[in-house]
């Protein structure tokens, strides 16, 4: 998710009591069985994005620092165990409004480290490495020093290099299996694995229904997340790649492995996709965040107004979270499939 990155300072306060320390590599390994004499199912031990995480009991005061992580917890029925959320790009997922209203929002973007610690968290999760890094809320090590375990979505580290200045580069395509793995991990952490399996099953069924009985093989699409001045378009292999791969359509920028490269409008017009998939964001960090502003730009700019998709008004409006690797990526699959059918782009 392209973000304008504010700088936050970190200070030490007191907080909860569990262990997160640092070895291992890659995403998340299966939880290990509980030892004798411990609470059933605990401790849960995970190798998560290069850190060893150990949770001795189900969290009661969890903080979700990104919307994607928050919506997974809320979908698992964990609102009563949450004391804060942060970093939102969209209204909460339909059906979760009541549960979300019961959880304090610490900030629309990044809260300070101090504000997070004021909630006395016993578990902190995030969707993006930057959130739990320098310049975000605080590095994972700072939480670990205070005994607060952290969890990072594997979708932002498995097969992805985040060492550069942009939003990362993927060496292999992301799949929904990584998202499903995150759901299962969080369900195990909270001691509700059956809820995780139920949610994964529901999402799988929706994906199968969305792609059933249609061949979109000749269709081409472009995914525009944000900014009209230096637009962020989806590369090959992130969440939009899941949508394209599931439906068998071509992302016109599948020749770059950057997560969200900034691409000039002349190049966009030259690729001339059949359909434009547009993020409708409620944040105000960059230019043309809302879908309405994006469409206004496309239909008035001399370089873009003659594109095939613009002249035909072939737009698909998605939430920002549907273009991130979250449970809402399934919404993206459903809405893009429905639009391709509506626009007559099936064989």
- Count of structural domains, the chain: 2
Using alpha carbons, list the distances in angstroms from residue 323 to 164, 223, 224, 244, 341: 21, 8, 9, 11, 20
Count CB-CB contacts under 10 A for residue 238. Answer: 28
Same domain, 91 and 176: yes
Does residue 175 belong to any structural domain of this protein?
yes
Instruction: Please state the rounded mean pLDDT for residues 253-270.
Output: 96
Six-digit token string for 62: 């969890």
CATH value at residue 335? 3.40.50.1980
**From the centroid of its chain, how far is CA 243?**
14
Same domain for 271 and 185, yes or no, is no
- pLDDT confidence of residue 181: 97
CA distance 258 to 256: 6
Q: 123-126 and 150-152 as β-strands: parallel, antiparallel, unpaired?
A: parallel
pTM of the model: 0.87
What is the CA 210 to chain-centroid distance, rounded? 20
Stronger pLDDT, 192 or 3, i.e. the higher one: 192
pLDDT (average), residues 283-295: 85
- Region 132-150: mean pLDDT is 95
Helix (H, G, I), strand (E, B) or coil at 232: strand
298 and 304 in contact (C-beta within 8 Å)? Answer: yes
| Domain final residue pick, 204, 228, 249 | 204
Residue 254 has pLDDT above 70, yes or no: yes
8 Å CB contact between 193 and 183 = no
pLDDT beyond 60 at 148: yes
> Are 165 and 238 in the same domain?
no
Pair (243, 199) in one structural domain? no
* Contact status, residue 285 vs residue 2, Cβ threshold 8 Å: no
Q: pLDDT tens, 171-230?
A: 999 999 999 999 999 999 999 999 999 999 999 999 999 999 889 988 999 999 999 999
CA angle 94, 97, 99 (to 5 degrees): 125
What is the Cα 208 distance to its own chain's centre?
21
What distances in angstroms separate CA 315 from CA 250, 307, 342, one per listed residue? 16, 12, 11
What letter does residue 57 receive in the DSSP assignment? S
């Amino acid at each position: 998710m392209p973000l304008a990155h504010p700088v936050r300072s970190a200070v030490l306060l007191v907080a909860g009591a569990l262990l997160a320390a640092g070895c291992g590599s890659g995403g998340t390994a299966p939880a290990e069985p509980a030892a004798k004499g411990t609470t059933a199912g605990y401790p849960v031990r995970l190798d998560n994005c290069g850190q060893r995480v150990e949770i001795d009991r189900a969290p009661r005061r969890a903080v979700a620092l990104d919307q994607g992580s928050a919506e997974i917890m809320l979908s698992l029925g964990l609102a009563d165990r949450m004391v804060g959320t942060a970093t939102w790009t969209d209204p909460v997922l339909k059906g979760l409004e009541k549960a979300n209203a019961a959880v304090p929002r610490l900030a629309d973007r990044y809260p300070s480290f101090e504000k997070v610690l004021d909630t006395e968290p016993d578990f902190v999760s995030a969707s993006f490495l930057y959130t739990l890094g320098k310049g975000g809320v605080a590095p994972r090590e700072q939480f670990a020093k205070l005994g607060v375990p952290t969890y990072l979505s594997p979708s932002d580290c498995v097969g992805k290099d985040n060492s550069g200045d942009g939003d990362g580069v993927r060496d292999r395509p992301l799949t929904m299996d990584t998202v499903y793995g995150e759901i299962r991990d969080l369900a195990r952490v909270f001691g509700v694995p059956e809820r995780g399996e139920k949610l994964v099953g529901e999402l799988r069924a929706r994906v199968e229904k969305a792609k059933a009985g249609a061949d979109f093989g000749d269709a081409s699409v472009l995914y525009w997340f944000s900014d009209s001045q230096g637009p962020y378009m989806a590369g090959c292999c992130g969440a939009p790649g899941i949508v394209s791969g599931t439906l068998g359509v071509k992302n016109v920028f599948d020749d770059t492995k950057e997560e969200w490269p900034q691409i000039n409008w002349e190049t966009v017009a030259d690729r001339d996709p059949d359909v434009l998939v547009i993020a409708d964001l409620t944040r105000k960090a960059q230019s043309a965040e809302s879908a309405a502003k994006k469409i206004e730009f496309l239909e008035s700019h001399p370089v873009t107004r003659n594109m095939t998709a613009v002249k035909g008004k072939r737009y698909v409006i998605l939430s920002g979270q549907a273009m991130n690797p979250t449970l809402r990526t399934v919404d993206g699959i459903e809405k893009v499939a429905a639009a391709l059918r509506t626009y007559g782009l099936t064989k």
